[in-house]
């Protein structure tokens, strides 16, 4: 079964949760690198979605000017 793609808000919220755990020392040192790697993946998801949204908005405005 294919994985459901996270929404921007889901990815952002997961980043916030992980950062909270890190800031409050709630993560074992052995798992810290996995969490940091997960944040990296989530940041890429957010970046991709923001860039896609920006392109869509630019396209809408370009079409409106024509």
Confidence of residue 65 (pLDDT cuts 50, 70, 90): low
| Res. 66: pLDDT tops 70 | no
Using CA atoms, how far apart are residues 15 and 36, in angstroms rounded to an integer?
9
- pLDDT tens digits along 3-50: 788 999 999 999 999 999 999 988 888 899 999 999 999 999 999 999
Using CA atoms, how far apart are residues 57 and 62, in angstroms rounded to an integer?
9
What pLDDT was estimated at residue 1?
A: 58
Q: Residue 46: name the closest of 54, 36, 57, 35 by CA.
A: 54
What pLDDT was estimated at residue 26?
A: 83
The set of residues, in sequence order, having a beta carbon less than 8 Å from that of 53 and lying 6+ positions away, is none
Helix axis angle, 29-65 relative to 8-23, nearest 10°?
A: 150
């Amino acid at each position: 079964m294919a994985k459901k793609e996270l929404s921007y808000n889901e990815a952002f919220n997961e980043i916030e949760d992980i950062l909270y755990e890190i800031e409050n020392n709630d993560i074992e040192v052995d798992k810290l690198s996995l969490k940091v790697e997960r944040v990296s993946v989530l940041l890429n998801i957010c970046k991709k979605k923001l860039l896609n949204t920006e392109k869509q908005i630019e396209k809408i405005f370009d079409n409106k000017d024509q």
